[in-house]
Amino acid sequence: MSAITLRELTKVYPNGVRALDALDLEIADGEFFALLGPSGCGKTTLLRTIAGLELASAGSVSIGDRAVTNLPPGQRDVAMVFQDYALFPHMSVRDNIAYPLRIKKVGRAARHDKAANTADELGLSALLDRRPGQLSGGQQQRVALARAMACHPQVFLLDEPLSNLDARLRLEARTFLKRLQRELGVTTVFVTHDQAEALALADRIAVMEGGRIRQVGTPTEVFRRPANTFVAGFIGSTPMNLVPARVDGDALAVAGVRLPVPEDVRGRLTDGEQVVYGVRPEYLDYSPDPVPDALTGQVVVVENLGSFSLVSLDVPAGDGATTSVQVVVPEGREPDPGDTGWAVPRPGRSLVYRDGELV
């Protein structure tokens, strides 16, 4: 069993930066788990603290039923793959893969056998005698994974595993990584700041901010029901529209119109209170003609993104000000800047936030 349990995990660096702030997290055995968040939120620190490359200032780390908080990296039974792969340039692929076995004092013949088997599993057999400098970025990544796999660790820790690859290789490597993790079933934690990558790969995602976790959930949960406005603004290729609103009887007064209060929050709002209305650009349908229960405004920008366009409408925000609402519009149905348009929320896709938290 190799679940990972973090309790009140805190890391304060000697310069006083609190990179992890009493963080609680449970990662299930065999899970493919992503740490996601803006630069500086503590993702790498969290990964390195699980690995033992940083020691916790307070709190605990357990792997399976072992408390590993104060153990050195070599005794934690984890393997970490670094962003730059950290391969030894002067060693062959075979020796790179076999290196952790050498450290563990496995005999030469046995470790070369093991390296050959692992290389075979990752499609690297033909490259065993090459040096890292003679490999493509994708091949180097596979060698780094093979080196991590050779010891059969209980946990894989991957720091931005795909960030060194170009866009095309990245997609290929992403599919490869997902398949490999499925086949091995090893608990895997990976750091990324690319939310599309996290959504595509992970069983569950933790979204971090300032050394804390703001939400843990499946990709669908964090995408459809962000727990707070921070996650709502962070997840998705375009952030969620978040528009100030006021509860007005059985309606929400939003951007100069009245929209029905979403069914799942009825009875939980107080008449007259200020809230924020949230809806993803993907969950709004554009209409060039007036439609009831829709936001309306003037089209200001139409961005062509291939098979769809992102249309920005300026809608009234009270006191003569306007706020921007974005709508995803399929190819061929784009309006022109200057048009008046209506953005119709799809049923069941609107959210309400109070004090930044999902109601």
Encoded one letter per residue, x for contact with ligand ATP by CB under 6 A and - for no contact, window 19-48 reads x-----------------x-xxxxxxx---
Left (φ > 0), alpha (ψ -120 to 50) or beta: where does 87 sit?
beta
Nearer to ligand ATP by C-beta: 43 or 114?
A: 43
Q: Minimal CA–CA distance to 80: which of 173, 180, 10, 147?
A: 147
Give me the least distance between CB of 33 and ligand ATP, in Å please: 15
Encoded one letter per residue, x for contact with ligand ATP by CB under 6 A and - for no contact, window 141-180 reads ----------------------------------------
Nearer to ligand ATP by C-beta: 39 or 270?
A: 39
Q: Minimal CA–CA distance to 319: which of 235, 225, 255?
A: 255
Q: What number of chain residues touch ligand ATP (CB under 6 A)?
A: 13
Token pair listed for 56: 């916790």
* Touching ligand ATP, residues 1-20 (CB under 6 A): 13, 15, 17, 19
Nearer to ligand ATP by C-beta: 36 or 149?
A: 36
Nearer to ligand ATP by C-beta: 13 or 88?
A: 13
In sequence order, the 6+-apart residues with CB closer than 8 A to the CB of 289 are: 342
Task: Check if the beta carbon of residue 208 is closer than 8 Å to that of residue 36.
Answer: yes
Give me the least distance between CB of 236 and ligand ATP, in Å please: 19
Nearer to ligand ATP by C-beta: 56 or 259?
A: 56
C-alpha separations of 252 from 67, 261, 265, 273, 318 in Å: 50, 6, 11, 10, 14
Q: Minimal CA–CA distance to 213: which of 17, 22, 12, 32?
A: 22
Give me the least distance between CB of 242 and ligand ATP, in Å please: 23
Q: Is 307 in the site for ligand ATP (CB under 6 A)?
A: no
- Token look-up 């990245």 returns 170
Which amino acid would we find at residue 208? M
* DSSP code of residue 91: S
Calpha distance 10→305 (Å, rounded): 42
Q: Minimal CA–CA distance to 277: which of 298, 300, 301, 294?
A: 294
Calpha distance 283→271 (Å, rounded): 26
* DSSP code of residue 240: P
Give me the least distance between CB of 186 and ligand ATP, in Å please: 22
Nearer to ligand ATP by C-beta: 47 or 358?
A: 47
Encoded one letter per residue, x for contact with ligand ATP by CB under 6 A and - for no contact, window 182-211 reads -----------x------------------
Per CB under 6 A, residues contacting ligand ATP are 13, 15, 17, 19, 37, 39-45, 193
